[in-house]
Structure 1
Amino acid sequence: MLFKIRKLIKKTIIFFTIIILIIVGGLVVLTTKYPIGYKSAIVKYSNEYNLDPYLVASIINVESKYDKNAISSKEAKGLMQIAPQTGQWAGEVLGIENYNAEMLFDPEVNIRIGTWYLNNLFTEFNGDLDLVLAAYNAGSGNVSKWLDNEEYCRDGVTLSVIPFKETKDYLVKIQDNYKVYSSVYKEYIMNPTDKDSLYINLLHNIRRVLKELMRNI
């Protein structure tokens, strides 16, 4: 009888250990693929520019994986990958004192400019989210040309075809990210503190170490 009880206890412990490992593993994957940081700036400027904070959080992840020092091949900088021309324009309109491109590596400045630019795109494209996201990725000039082209737009209002594969994929990535940030992180994002900045820095340091190890293998 005692042997059976011990065996049952052992199986129960193993079962719950496996469950805990699955949960921990899932959380590790989740926070690695969908990190979150700079919540106070995200909420602050999303409110200021009448944007969905979960959308902004999703864009940051797709654009830079929350790496404030990210630079693209086209010299777009920071969390929301602001192009130099856009940054200069925003710096003038917003009256950012002594603005220079290096300020785009400051999360507060970058998110402020990124949300301001998104707000402009929403105005330009009459609140159509797909057009806004396409413009954020491919440029508003390209989207306007597509809307005037019957090959891509039948009614002059909605794109039936997005000719750039990168832009088409970009919209899908944002949609996938939005599902996570608006559900899993719902309460977390709306509790705007930046205590997670240490976690973000640690995450990127781990990524850099792994990249170096891969290069040397």
Structure 2
Amino acid sequence: MTIYDRPLDRGALGPLADPDARHSGAASTRAARAVSRPQGGESVRSGSFRPAAFAPLIDRAARAHDIDPLLLHAIARVESRHQPNAVSHAGAHGLMQVIVPTARRFGVGAAQQLRDPETNLDVSARYLKTLQQRFGNDLPLVLAAYNAGEGAVEKYGRKIPPYRETQGYVRKVIAEYDLLRRVSTGHRSATVLSRVAAESDL
């Protein structure tokens, strides 16, 4: 299981074109975009914040795909506030806000299936594992790809794309992950947070 506590030394973002572009790096844009989040002008149907209710399912998905369960919790918190019926205007569904084109890569083809927490978490964990393998367990890049699409990360030289939403998303998830890890282990992932700050123009 990858626990992100190692120092990271990737350099800052270089000169980047189209700083205000949104997800222009993803192949076929919307179709290849990994996850669409319920923020930045999008809305999520109201619901209670219930992280504990999904802890067993999160732990199961994490074990099945060798993902840190605290990372899944952090993403679920930022994506949907642990709301299984959350739906964004961009068509992302469930706890982990997965869109159908991404889910189809893992054999799930219907939006209704993504509203099942167990299915949603399984698809998300499998996708995260794919991203970890592709980007060498580099947490900021994994999260950037989860948000903006793998193509966007590749387009900008395997750095965090210069999209405000994506940069903010990466920082929020890492901060949430850091908080959860501090609560559980007393360890701070300051090196990762510093890396994100260095690669962000915000």
TM range (shorter): 0.5 to 0.7
Deviation at 1:100, TM superposition (A): 2.4
Larger Rg: 1
Deviation at 1:65, TM superposition (A): 0.4
Q: 1:147-173: per-residue Cα shift (whole Å, max 9, x none)?
A: 1xxxxxxxxx5x2x6310111111110
The answer to whether the 8 A contact 2:58-2:69 is kept is: yes
Distance (Å, rounded) in 2 between the aligned partners of 1:64 and 1:87: 17
Q: 1:86-113: per-residue Cα shift (whole Å, max 9, x none)?
A: 1122116xxxxxx522010000000000
Distance (Å, rounded) in 1 between the aligned partners of 2:171 and 2:136: 21
The correspondence of residues 58-207 of structure 1 with structure 2, limited to 5 A, is: 58-91=74-107, 100-147=110-157, 159=159, 162-184=161-183, 186=184
The answer to whether the 8 A contact 1:36-1:57 is kept is: no
2:69 maps to which of 40, 45, 53? 53
The answer to whether the 8 A contact 1:34-1:61 is kept is: no
Q: Unmatched 5+ residue regions in structure 1? A: 1-31, 93-98, 148-156, 188-217
Deviation at 1:45, TM superposition (A): 1.2
Distance (Å, rounded) in 1 between the aligned partners of 2:179 and 2:77: 11
Match of 1:205 in 2: none
Q: 1:25-66: per-residue Cα shift (whole Å, max 9, x none)?
A: xxxxxxx88944311111111111111111110000000001
TM-score by length of 2: 0.63
Higher RCO by CA contacts (8 Å cutoff, separation 6 or greater): 2
Q: Unmatched 5+ residue regions in structure 2? A: 1-47, 186-202
Amino acid at match of 1:168: Q
Q: 1:101-141: per-residue Cα shift (whole Å, max 9, x none)?
A: 20100000000000000000111111111110000000111
Indicate how the Cα distance of structure 1 residues 169 and 34 shifts in structure 2: closer, same or farther if over 3 A, else same. Answer: farther
Indicate how the Cα distance of structure 1 residues 113 and 33 shifts in structure 2: closer, same or farther if over 3 A, else same. Answer: closer
Distance (Å, rounded) in 2 between the aligned partners of 1:176 and 1:44: 23
Deviation at 1:179, TM superposition (A): 2.3
The answer to whether the 8 A contact 2:85-2:94 is kept is: yes
The answer to whether the 8 A contact 1:76-1:82 is kept is: yes
The answer to whether the 8 A contact 1:36-1:66 is kept is: no
Distance (Å, rounded) in 1 between the aligned partners of 2:55 and 2:152: 31
Indicate how the Cα distance of structure 1 residues 134 and 76 shifts in structure 2: closer, same or farther if over 3 A, else same. Answer: same
Structure 1 residue ranges, 4+ long, deviating more than 4 angstroms after superposition = 32-35
Match of 1:151 in 2: none
Q: Which has the higher helix share?
A: 1
Q: Say how many residue pairs are matched.
A: 138
